[in-house]
Structures are given as structure tokens and as C-alpha cells.
Amino acid sequence: MTGIDTEVEEVEKMFAVNVFGPMRMVRHFHPMLIKAQGKIVNIGSVGGIVPYVYGSSYNASKAALHHWGNTLRVEMKPLGVDVVNIISGEVSTNILKRDRDHKRQLPGTSFYRPLANEFSKHITRTPPLENMLGTWLRK
């Protein structure tokens, strides 16, 4: 969804999963991570580095995770904990399936309404096989 058409509550849900979830995990488990000299692995996205259209909330959440992870890497290094941000491209997930199932579309009042067909194509597409990390990993 476009940035100006997205309800703030939807953005909050996205951040709850993509940013605050990992933060809570690290906050809770950091004593064990430090004791074990472990690793923190964040699953990011190229969308957090290079924004794409119709993904403003997702892009922002992954950018926040990416920058938090970079800062955490500096903070945790003296404690013997490595922090890794995995930056994936497009992968095969159900993220677009929910949009298709709910027949998500631009609001009738959207300034982007002239792009409604393009938006519909975007959320109903299947990522190309060469972009699907999951497909590659199954080989």
C-alpha cells in the first residue's frame, strides 16, 4: 500500500512483528547470548535498503531493523556477541497472499487511484523463480 493510503494501525502491526519482536527477543535473551558468546541473526530485506513502490511500511520496518542491528553489532561486539543482518531479495512467502485473499485495493479516494491496475498486478504477482531464495535453498 502507498505511504499516504496506509492506516497507522497497519504500520504499527508491521513494526510490532518486524522491529519490536526482535528487540524483545534480544532484550529477554541477551544474558544467555552473552554467556554463550552467541550470534543474533536478523532477517532483513533489500526493501530496507532500496525502497520499492507500495511497500513504504514494510520498507520502513526493515530499515529500522537493519539500523538497529547495525547499532547492536557495535554494542554487542565487546560482549562477544556477533550480530548479523541478512539482506534478502524477493522470497516466496505468504505476504502477498493475504493481500490477494482480502482483495486489497487502493482506497477510492487515493491520489494513486489512476494506478489501481498496476497496484492490483503488484499484489497478485508471483515472484520470479530466480528471485525466490526458498526455491534455491531447496536444491
Backbone angles phi, psi at 36, to 5 degrees: -85, -5
Predicted local distance difference test score (pLDDT) of residue 115:
78
Domain ranges of the chain: 1-89, 92-139
User: Hey, what amino acid is at 123?
Assistant: I
Catalytic residue flag (residue 62)? yes
Quick check: 85 and 42 in contact, CB under 8 A? yes
Q: Coil, strand, or helix at residue 120?
A: helix
Quick check: 93 and 42 in contact, CB under 8 A? no
**CATH code for the structural domain at 1-89:** 3.40.50.720
Predicted local distance difference test score (pLDDT) of residue 136:
46
Instruction: Provide the pLDDT confidence category of residue 66 given band limits of 50, 70 and 90.
Output: very high
pLDDT, greater one: 52 or 61: 61
Catalytic residue flag (residue 97)? no
Q: List the catalytic residue out of 13, 39, 54, 58.
A: 58
Instruction: Provide the pLDDT confidence category of residue 85 given band limits of 50, 70 and 90.
Output: very high
pLDDT in tens, 89-109: 877 666 666 666 656 778 889
Predicted local distance difference test score (pLDDT) of residue 18:
97
Q: List the catalytic residue out of 39, 54, 62, 121.
A: 62
Predicted local distance difference test score (pLDDT) of residue 92:
65
